[in-house]
Chains A and B, each alone.
Chain A
């Protein structure tokens, strides 16, 4: 595992999380409004970037090696939605998100 692959795995995670947050923010605006188009466009771009870099990584690494990193996205998205989009995050919600992340990691390790 080279520093470049670490960077690529990290960038797929960041762009996937950013994509979800941007799409969510876009949908809070009127469809067709300038802000909607801006956020929707960047969100779609981020998701597309994440998709193709993941596809590239899959040519070099096993799915079971790459998948656990995606599992962490559940906790990261929930926390960032609270911080950036000011959504209400309860302890129970965070606990549930952590369980789901742990479960996804466990599923992909086996």
Chain B
């Protein structure tokens, strides 16, 4: 059966992926923006307020707000004990994103941690995926 775009968008499983991707993108935009922003006065420097002068930071802020709304939608339909572990895939996406888009280096110990998180997410998601197939 072909589902309509609206049906897919309103699916809580789609929303959890959407929410996590939005957070991961937000982190990358915030980092890019924070570095690009010109520092204001020395007194305000430590607060990160100077970041607000960068449009990239604002894209990051909008993405954070969108992901929060999407997360609340997810909470309405999915158990927290499944949704929260799955949302932790952000710990896989952010390091890989910073490796690809920001050129940051990842140590082998960090790769091992990323792999552990990925295996954990897989083990949480697999029985759920099977359950969905039956429905």
Please, how many angstroms separate the alpha-carbon atoms of A84 and B71 in the complex? Answer: 20
Residue of A nearest to B73 (CB): A27
With A77-B80, A87-B81 as contacts: A99 and B120 at CB distance below 8 Å: yes
Partner of B116, one of A23, A24, A100: A100
**How far apart sit A27 and B121, CA to CA, in the bound complex (Å)?**
24
Q: Size of chain A's interface in residues, with CB distance under 8 A?
A: 35
- By a beta-carbon cutoff of 8 Å, the part of chain A in contact with chain B is 20-21, 23-24, 27-28, 59, 74, 77-78, 81-82, 85, 87-90, 92-93, 95-110
Q: List 23 A-B contacts (CB under 8 A).
A: A20-B84, A23-B72, A28-B76, A59-B46, A81-B81, A85-B80, A87-B80, A90-B127, A93-B82, A95-B120, A95-B123, A96-B85, A96-B120, A96-B123, A96-B124, A97-B120, A97-B124, A102-B113, A103-B113, A103-B116, A103-B118, A105-B113, A106-B109
Interface residues of B (CB under 8 A from A): 46, 72, 75-76, 79-82, 84-85, 88, 91, 95, 107, 109-110, 112-124, 127
